[in-house]
Amino acid sequence: MAYLFTSESVSEGHPDKIADQISDTLLDNFLAFDEESKVACETLVTTGQVVLAGEVRSNTYLDVQQIARDVINDIGYTKGAYQFSGDSCGVISLIHEQSPDINQGVDRATKEEQGAGDQGMMFGYATTETANFMPLALDISHKMVYELAELRREGNEIPYLRPDAKSQVTIEYSDDNIPQRIVAIVLSTQHDQFMENDEEMLAKIKKDIIEILMPRVIAQLPEYVQELFNNDIKYHINPTGKFVIGGPHGDAGLTGRKIIVDTYGGKGAHGGGAFSGKDPSKVDRSAAYASRHIAKNLVAAGVADEVLVQVSYAIGVVEPTSISVDTYGTSKVAMSNGEIAKKVGEIFDMRPFAIEERLNLRNPIYRETAAYGHMGKEPKKVTKIFKSPYNGEIKKEVELFTWEKLDYVDKVKDAFGL
């Protein structure tokens, strides 16, 4: 019997994502001026206020208030009408020194012996469902809110858009897990009060979303996905009514509260640990990236059509406590899941420092991860400039999304005889 599956995404202007982007931009600045910085930075945003908290150990000093304001303005919160603006909001910093009790579990005589920054389990997932090995419903959901933000910045075709938005896509699958059709699309977008009559205004928003946004989204998709769109799709556009009050004025935002949007949209699994604001010694982040790297390379190499990788750690311990693999019955090799997992442990060094080195994680690469998903994006090299009243200006060339590289495919094929 056919079944339905749904994933959601949120825009860069969603309150939780504002918090994530502030936390990761602070992390980037600490790493830019001191790559050995240990950072666990949390952010709260609400009406007219930002609160920064957490623990940092670094040889650099930053103007964290100004960094937060710059992020907020960059996202698009620049008007007093939003009740939240980078130029006018209060910014309170409660950041303090990292606990030496925690640090003693991480630092060792040599970097290779670095222990895990915490206990826990992390997951990585990949599927042949899309070209970027991500779940289809999530991929479309991300594209919808990303393109909506592009339309907002352009300001021409839909000039009334405000930064806060959410999307959701429901897909019908066959018994053999093949997408059949898109059943429902939900999109809620914050907007100006651009008409006196709310009913007419909502009708205009719905028309613009269906006739302007969706064609731009569909045009980016491969033909086999475009064919899933049909005239029977149920569109729920701002289903509760007008959405003028939004952003941090409408709802408080917190770092780490969109972990399913950040990963696989409910497919696979999640260990519960958030990513943003954490330096790579925190395996919540680095091991989740490494697990995605493993899963993607396994699927790309042809080991299976769908793979879930789990890794777990004990705080302060170098080697992972477990590595497991689930191929959901799609394995193309004559091995059990346990045998595949053992082979994975031989191919990929999952010690915390080895992960940092393999994926070049001690670089300021994290602001770009903090909206529209940490997984599924294209690896690329960029030059980033960081300015500080205390440290001057620094320019760094970095590679983004290294965990998305298919650089282990040949090694995996050799190991599995493919």
Residues designated catalytic = 14, 16-17, 42, 55, 166, 243, 251-252, 257-258, 278, 282, 284
242 is in an annotated binding site: yes
Give the closest residue to 268 by CA, choosing from 374, 111, 126.
126
251 is in an annotated binding site: yes
162 is in an annotated binding site: no
Amino acid at 399: E
The answer to whether 15 and 38 are in contact (CB under 8 A) is no
> Got the DSSP string for 209-270?
IIIIIHHHHHHTS-HHHHTT--TT-EEEESTTS---S-HHHHS-EETT--HHHHTTTTSS--
Beta bridge partners of 200: none
**Burial state string for 370-404 with b = 16 or more CB within 10 A and e = fewer than 16:** bbbbbbbbeeeeeebebebeebeeeebebebbbbb
267 is in an annotated binding site: no
165 is in an annotated binding site: yes
404 is in an annotated binding site: no
14 is in an annotated binding site: yes
16 is in an annotated binding site: yes
257 is in an annotated binding site: yes
The answer to whether 372 and 142 are in contact (CB under 8 A) is yes
74 is in an annotated binding site: no
Give the CA-trace dihedral at 215, 169, 164, 69, to 10 degrees.
-100
387 is in an annotated binding site: no
70 is in an annotated binding site: no
139 is in an annotated binding site: no
Instruction: Decide: helix, strand or coil at residue 150.
Output: helix
**Burial state string for 106-127 with b = 16 or more CB within 10 A and e = fewer than 16:** bbeeeeeebbbbbbbbbbbbbb
Residues belonging to the binding site for Mg(2+) are 16
- Binding-site residues, please? 14, 16, 42, 55, 98, 164-166, 242-243, 251, 257-258, 274, 278, 282
Residues making up the annotated binding site for L-methionine are: 55, 98, 251, 282
Binding residues for K(+), by number, are 42
